[in-house]
Amino acid sequence: MTANDLLSKLDKVKCAGQGKWLACCPAHADKTASLSVRELDDGRVLAHCFAGCSVHEVVAAVGLELTDLFPPRTDQHFIKGERRPFPAADCLRAIAFESILVLIAAADLLAGQPFNETDRTRLALAVTRIQAALTAGGIHHA
């Protein structure tokens, strides 16, 4: 429903600006315009009676329901955005730290120093953490 659909059911409608109108409130014996109607950019219609009628009373008086003041829902309202639980800066810090360990291991290997079991385990952990940081940052790797 648009604001025009509601306005067509009201008396003494006057434009009060772009997307804004004043009209007689249908929920009480109104002789002057005490109902403000406004249509928002997203399609919602707002109605306010300055005499104190509730929006429920206003829409019921013209045969509408409160839900008629809102645009129809689409599936887009329910699509969740991709969530990345870690900020990119944290992912980069983790990659940088683990890369230093890989660099140290590479330097030791080039210097002819053999890896012991602890070194191999830590190097494997560094690779796993780098891959995890890439995944957390939204980068899909092979």
Residues 18 and 62 in one domain: yes
pLDDT for 83: 60
Residues 100 and 53 in one domain: no
pLDDT band (50, 70, 90) for residue 96: very high
> In sequence order, what DSSP letters do the residues of 38-84 get, joined into one string?
EE-TTS-EEEEETTS--HHHHHHHTT--GGGGSPPP-GGGGPPPP--
Residues 8 and 67 in one domain: yes
pTM of the predicted structure, to 2 decimals: 0.51
pLDDT band (50, 70, 90) for residue 14: very high
| Cα 87 from Cα 51, distance rounded (Å) | 51
Neighbours of 19 (CB within 10 A): 14
Residues 105 and 45 in one domain: no
Return the SS3 of 142: coil
| Cα 95 from Cα 74, distance rounded (Å) | 40
Positive or negative, the CA dihedral 119, 123, 126, 132 is negative
| Cα 43 from Cα 7, distance rounded (Å) | 14
Whole domain around residue 22: which residue ranges? Answer: 3-71
In a domain, 141, yes or no: no
By mean pLDDT, which of 28-37, 83-92, 99-108, 117-126 is the weakest? 83-92
The distance of Cα 56 from the centroid of its chain, to the nearest Å, equals 28
In a domain, 81, yes or no: no
In a domain, 80, yes or no: no
pLDDT at 15 over 80: yes
pLDDT at 78 over 60: no
| Cα 56 from Cα 27, distance rounded (Å) | 9
pLDDT for 141: 61
Residues 63 and 107 in one domain: no
In a domain, 76, yes or no: no
In a domain, 66, yes or no: yes
Number of folded domains that form the chain: 2
Q: Which of 6, 112, 120, 142 is nearest to 66 (CA)?
A: 6
| Cα 142 from Cα 91, distance rounded (Å) | 18
Residues 51 and 106 in one domain: no
pLDDT for 3: 85
